[in-house]
């Protein structure tokens, strides 16, 4: 590729490495001519969306020629009621990724610092680069957030801290005592984003839901998504909960019509179908047990996970083993870009999809 315009690019943009999504099923089918492919790479809901969502979207098709509601009133109202917050505390985004970046653009810039954990979600350091801030990566503890160390990393230049609970890609989860000690120690002018994309899957007894702390900490921002347990990954819809002041700042940068009509309709229907969410969570619980037994029988180490995925240690040959899984029609997620070169991340699928992985596992090893 030519570099005719490299000198015109903002310096902080030149070093950004694009986010690499999981390989689509159709791509592997084209490459290898396989008919039976199982994708366990992107932490998607293997059940897809609920029947109520599909029915609502079918009705909404007649409005395809209209712009969506730019304020997302009905979705924001449903989210406000569901989470017991004010309407003006809710902002919606084209996936939670958009909102995570918007927070960075609102609060940080050149000369500022953004703190995040080693092995944290890739969007955090990318956001720091986009806004020209200095990214401060704090070493992980047992592959998870070291919240005490992250608090100690705060300086007078710190504007924003990203934390994820559970964390992606490792699945680690911190408890209530650790969280409370952390949030109490953060200066009130430093924004804390608590990314809870996988909270529906958590069964840890001392899990600290961000909602329990939102009213007491005006600098706290919660990030959530419909892409996982709700099964709306293709529609790209996420949301944030924060004070009315912070929400107003986010909405100043939020693009008009950033969440399309069908995503809004689907998200409202999904929110009102909590039975489907619980079905998805139970499927994940059973699937995780199925996967863990197979991993332990194979003598493989893994990072205990509270999400809908498991990070599995395959050793120095992880990249080659990933290729062997592809030959067997199983798409996993390499996480070498996170510094986890010995690991592959495996999403939890249906019983049949998990069994495809297990059958392939015996062959590739």
Per-residue confidence (pLDDT) for residue 334, from 0 to 100: 95
- Copy the structure tokens of residue 251: 């909405």
How confident is residue 5, by pLDDT bands cut at 50, 70 and 90? low
Per-residue confidence (pLDDT) for residue 26, from 0 to 100: 72
Residue ranges covered by each domain of the chain: 8-48+275-364, 63-272
**Per-residue pLDDT tens over the stretch 165-205:** 999 999 999 999 999 999 999 999 999 999 999 999 999 99
Closest listed residue to residue 347, CA positions, set 336, 362, 357: 357
Is this structure's pTM higher than 0.75?
A: yes
Q: Does domain 63-272 have CATH number 3.40.47.10?
A: no
- The span from the first CA to the last CA of the chain, in angstroms, equals 38
- Decide: 54 and 269 in contact? Cβ < 8 Å: no
Hunting for tokens 């194979």 — which residue is that? 298
Residues contacting residue 73 through CB under 8 Å, at least 6 positions apart: none
Mean per-residue pLDDT over the chain, rounded: 93
Q: Would you report the helix, strand and coil content of the chain in percent, each value rounded to 5?
A: 45, 15, 40
**Per-residue pLDDT tens over the stretch 249-278:** 999 999 889 999 999 999 999 999 999 999
> Residues, the chain, total?
365
Q: Does domain 8-48+275-364 have CATH number 3.90.1150.10?
A: yes
* pLDDT surpassing 60 at residue 1: no
DSSP annotation of 234 reads G
How confident is residue 36, by pLDDT bands cut at 50, 70 and 90? confident
Q: How far apart are CA 342 and CA 355, in angstroms?
A: 23
Where is average pLDDT lowest: 57-61, 112-116, 145-149?
57-61
- Decide: 126 and 174 in contact? Cβ < 8 Å: no
- Copy the structure tokens of residue 320: 């080659």
């Amino acid at each position: 590729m030519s570099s005719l315009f490299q000198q015109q690019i903002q310096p902080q943009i030149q070093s950004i490495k694009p986010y690499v999504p999981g390989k689509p099923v159709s791509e592997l089918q084209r490459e290898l001519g396989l008919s039976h492919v199982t994708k366990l790479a992107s932490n998607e809901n293997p059940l897809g969306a609920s029947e109520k969502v599909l029915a609502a979207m079918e009705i909404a098709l007649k409005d395809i020629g209209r712009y969506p509601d730019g304020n997302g009133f009905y979705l924001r109202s449903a989210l406000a009621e569901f989470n017991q917050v004010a309407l003006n505390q809710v902002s919606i985004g084209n996936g939670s990724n958009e909102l995570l970046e918007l927070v960075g653009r609102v609060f940080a810039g050149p000369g500022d610092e953004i703190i995040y954990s080693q092995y944290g979600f890739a969007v955090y350091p990318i956001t720091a680069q986009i806004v020209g801030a200095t990214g401060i990566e704090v070493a992980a503890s047992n592959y998870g957030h070291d919240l005490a160390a992250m608090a100690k990393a705060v300086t007078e230049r710190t504007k924003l801290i990203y934390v994820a609970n559970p964390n992606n890609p490792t699945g680690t989860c911190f408890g209530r005592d650790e969280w409370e000690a952390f949030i109490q120690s953060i200066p009130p002018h430093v924004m804390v984003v608590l990314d809870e994309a996988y909270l529906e899957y958590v069964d840890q007894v001392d899990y600290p839901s961000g909602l329990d702390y939102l009213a007491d900490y005006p600098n706290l921002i919660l990030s959530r998504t419909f892409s996982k347990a709700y099964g709306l990954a293709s529609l790209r819809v996420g949301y944030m909960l924060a004070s009315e002041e912070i929400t107003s700042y986010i909405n100043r940068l939020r693009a008009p019509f950033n969440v399309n009509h069908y995503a809004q309709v689907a998200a409202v229907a999904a929110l009102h179908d909590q039975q489907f969410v619980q079905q998805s969570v139970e499927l994940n619980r059973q699937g995780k047990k199925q996967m863990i037994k197979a991993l332990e029988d194979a003598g493989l180490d893994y990072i205990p996970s509270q999400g809908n995925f498991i990070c599995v240690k395959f050793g120095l040959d992880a990249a080659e083993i990933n290729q062997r899984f592809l030959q067997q029609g199983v798409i996993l997620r390499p996480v070498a870009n996170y510094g986890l070169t010995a690991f592959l991340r495996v999403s939890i699928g249906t019983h049949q999809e998990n069994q495809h992985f297990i059958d392939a596992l015996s062959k590739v090893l």
